[in-house]
Amino acid sequence: MIEDEKMKTRMSGNKGFTLIELMIVVAIIGILAAVAIPQYQNYTRNATVNAALTEANQYKTAVGICAQTNAIAACVAGFGPVPTPAANNRVTGVGANGVITVVPGGSYGASSLTLTPSNDGTVWSLTCTTDGADTADLCTNDEIANHPDLDRVL
């Protein structure tokens, strides 16, 4: 019976964590957050640009098909196979000569990408325009800076 009381006394002194243990855990979480948050923001920015470029692919295909049977000047939104962009699309328009305008949005503000086709609609040139509200700089994003069509001469 006396040994049981000693055992209870010894065990009751070991409840919880010490302050230093808690401080170490908080420091580790802080370090992980300091590394992870910027990486996640970069990932989401790249995903936004990639989604915008992927959305533009259907318009590029449609302009290419249109250019096979018509003059490239006629390949505008709503003509032949070229669809008219919906209001909530990142593709904001398909103008004269099949030029596609893409606005990724988000932290890029009103910065835009312009995809310009060659006369036969097979070769594309990508140009980037930065808006003043762009807090992430669209034109230096990895998805744009490393894109094979960026500033291509047609």
- Give the CATH number for residue 122: 3.30.700
Residue 151 lies in a domain: no
Residue 112 lies in a domain: yes
Residue 10 lies in a domain: yes
Which tokens in the block code for residue 126? Answer: 């990508």
When pLDDT is cut at 50, 70 and 90, the band that residue 53 belongs to is very high
Give residue 76's domain range: 2-145
Residue 153 lies in a domain: no
Residue 150 lies in a domain: no
**Which is nearest to 111 in space by CA: 134, 135, 94?**
134
What is the pTM for the complete model shown?
0.79
**Torsion-angle region of residue 140: left (phi > 0), alpha (psi -120 to 50) or beta?**
alpha
Domain count, the chain: 1
Q: What's phi and psi for 91, nearest 5 deg?
A: -80, 120
Residue 152 lies in a domain: no
Per-residue pLDDT, 142: 86
Residue 84 lies in a domain: yes
When pLDDT is cut at 50, 70 and 90, the band that residue 134 belongs to is confident
Residue 56 lies in a domain: yes
